[in-house]
Each structure stands twice: as structure tokens, then as C-alpha cells.
């Protein structure tokens, strides 16, 4: 396996994609990114979007696809529609970006979430895709002296769910990104680089408190295929920060 590919989560450029979705892809390619992760498709036909990606030589390994937790009877049917679109587009990884958990989660909450994630993982696998989960910090709350996230990764079979560690949120959850990259080596094909300054405010990668410069040597051994930048708050503009973040990745060999 070679070094990871540098990508960007398009939610980072939502002020741009909401105005001109396909035009934003052109700007991303011009900056130098080699991959994009989707957070919505803006009603663009999959064939049209695939043609644009091919034209720009942009990989599209993954998409964040929220599950319909508010109506679990429709959850699998809604997910099936997302799977069909992803297959037509050529996406490999369908990632759940968030799941509801109460302030004080219980074993029953974990069991309920494990059941849903397992079902979705099987549904994706049956369609030839790979299912994954993206963390925030609240999955590091403890249930029976173990983090919710560790419960999920132990109870959902590895062949049904990979992990997209958001290393910034992992740090805010009180744990070391290096430890989790090592612990779940081989189950982490994608990671999010998201940096935070003091006060939980988004920062450009390398300008916050996470210490990403120390993590690059751990990516290949962990089996990481894609490093995906995510940022939600900006000093100047989303495009300026996207360019600065790409330059940070370049300086460290990606």
C-alpha cells in the first residue's frame, strides 16, 4: 500500500457547493486535492457527476450519508436509495457521519445502535459496498468503563463496518489519535483531519492543538488510504482555508 491520498470533505466548502456544486469540484481540483468526500449531491444525476469527476481526475471514495434515525421503519429503504446512487457513481465507502446518543448512554442505547449499524453494514456489503462510521467526541462517553465507540467496534463485525476516525474529535474526546490508529490498525481506510484551537473552535490543519505533524508516520502502518480534510469555521474564506490545508498535507508528503 502506498501513501494516503489527500482529499477534502465537501461540507468544508458548503458555502460554495450550495451555489455551484460542479464548479466547486473544479476549484478543489485546481487547489490540488486528488479526492473528494461528498456530503450531499444537490440533486445532481450520478452519471453527470461521474463525468465531471472523471474530467477532473478526482477520486470519490466516500460519501457521508445520514441515516433516518427518526423513522427506523424507513431507515433501510432510505439507505437503499443512497446505495443505488453510490454504486452508479462508483463510491466505495458509505459513511454514517453521526448517530443519536443520550447525554448518559446505557448498555441498551449501545445495543440499539449496534443493531442499526450491523443491519446497514450488511445491506451495504450485500450491494458490494463498504459501510463505515465517523465519530465525534460524544462516542467516547463511558458505558461499563468502556467508550461507546469501543463497544461499537467490538460488537459490529469488522467485515460489516470500518471506521473513519475523525482525529480532531477523537482528541477532544480525551483520547490519543495515535493509540486508536494503532488499536484498530487495518480497519481505518479513511481518516478526517480536523483541527481545533482552544475553545473547540475550528482551525486550519496544523494551526490547532491536535498535533497532526506527528501523525503522518502512523497513517500507512494503520492502513489509511485517504486523508480527508474537514473544516467548518474560517478566518478568511472556505476556499482560502482549503488551499492552506492542502499545502499543509503537501509539506508532510501527501
Phi, psi dihedral angles at 106 (to 5 degrees):
-120, 175
Coil, helix or strand at residue 107: helix
Best CA proximity match to 60, nearest among 158, 190, 185, 222: 190
Residue 69 DSSP class? T
Antiparallel, parallel or unpaired: β 201-203 and 195-197: antiparallel
The CA distance from 150 to 250, in Å, is 32
Identify the pLDDT of residue 199: 82
What cell numbers appear for 22 in the block? Answer: 460542479
Query: All domains of the chain, ordered by start, with CATH?
Result: 5-251 (3.20.20.150)
The number of angstroms, rounded, from the C-alpha of 90 to the middle of its chain's C-alpha atoms is 17
Residue 210 DSSP class? S
Identify the pLDDT of residue 1: 67
Q: What is the pLDDT along the chain (254 residues), one digit of tens a residue?
A: 689 999 999 999 999 999 999 999 999 999 999 999 999 999 999 999 999 999 999 999 999 999 999 998 899 999 999 999 999 999 999 999 999 999 999 999 999 999 999 999 999 999 999 999 999 999 999 999 999 999 999 999 999 999 999 999 999 999 999 999 999 999 999 999 999 998 899 999 999 999 999 999 999 999 999 999 999 999 999 999 999 999 999 999 99
pTM above 0.95, yes or no: yes
Amino acid at each position: 500500500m502506498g501513501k494516503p491520498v489527500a482529499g477534502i470533505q465537501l461540507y468544508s466548502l458548503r458555502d460554495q457547493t450550495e451555489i455551484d456544486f460542479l464548479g466547486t469540484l473544479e476549484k478543489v481540483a485546481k487547489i490540488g486535492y486528488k479526492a473528494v468526500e461528498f456530503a450531499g449531491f444537490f440533486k445532481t444525476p450520478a452519471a453527470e457527476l461521474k463525468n465531471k469527476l472523471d474530467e477532473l481526475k478526482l477520486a470519490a471514495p466516500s460519501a457521508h450519508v445520514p441515516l433516518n434515525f427518526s423513522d427506523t421503519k424507513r431507515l433501510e429503504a432510505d439507505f437503499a436509495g443512497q446505495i443505488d446512487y453510490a454504486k452508479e457513481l462508483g463510491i466505495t465507502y458509505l459513511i454514517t457521519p453521526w448517530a443519536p446518543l443520550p447525554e448518559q448512554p446505557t448498555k441498551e442505547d449501545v445495543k440499539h445502535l449496534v443493531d442499526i449499524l450491523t443491519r446497514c453494514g450488511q445491506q451495504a456489503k450485500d450491494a458490494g459496498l463498504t459501510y463505515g462510521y465517523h465519530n465525534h467526541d460524544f462516542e467516547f462517553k463511558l458505558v461499563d468503563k468502556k467508550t461507546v465507540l469501543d463497544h461499537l467496534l467490538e460488537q459490529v463485525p469488522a467485515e460489516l463496518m470500518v471506521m473513519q476516525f475523525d482525529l480532531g474529535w477523537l482528541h477532544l474526546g480525551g483520547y490519543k489519535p495515535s493509540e486508536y490508529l494503532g488499536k484498530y490498525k487495518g480497519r481505518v481506510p479513511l481518516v478526517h483531519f480536523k483541527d481545533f484551537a482552544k475553545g473547540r473552535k475550528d482551525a486550519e490543519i496544523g494551526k490547532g492543538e491536535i498535533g497532526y505533524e506527528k501523525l503522518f508516520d502512523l497513517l500507512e502502518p494503520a492502513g489509511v488510504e485517504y486523508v480527508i480534510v474537514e473544516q467548518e469555521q474560517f478566518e478568511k474564506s472556505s476556499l482560502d482555508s482549503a488551499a492552506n490545508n492542502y499545502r499543509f498535507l503537501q509539506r508532510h508528503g501527501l
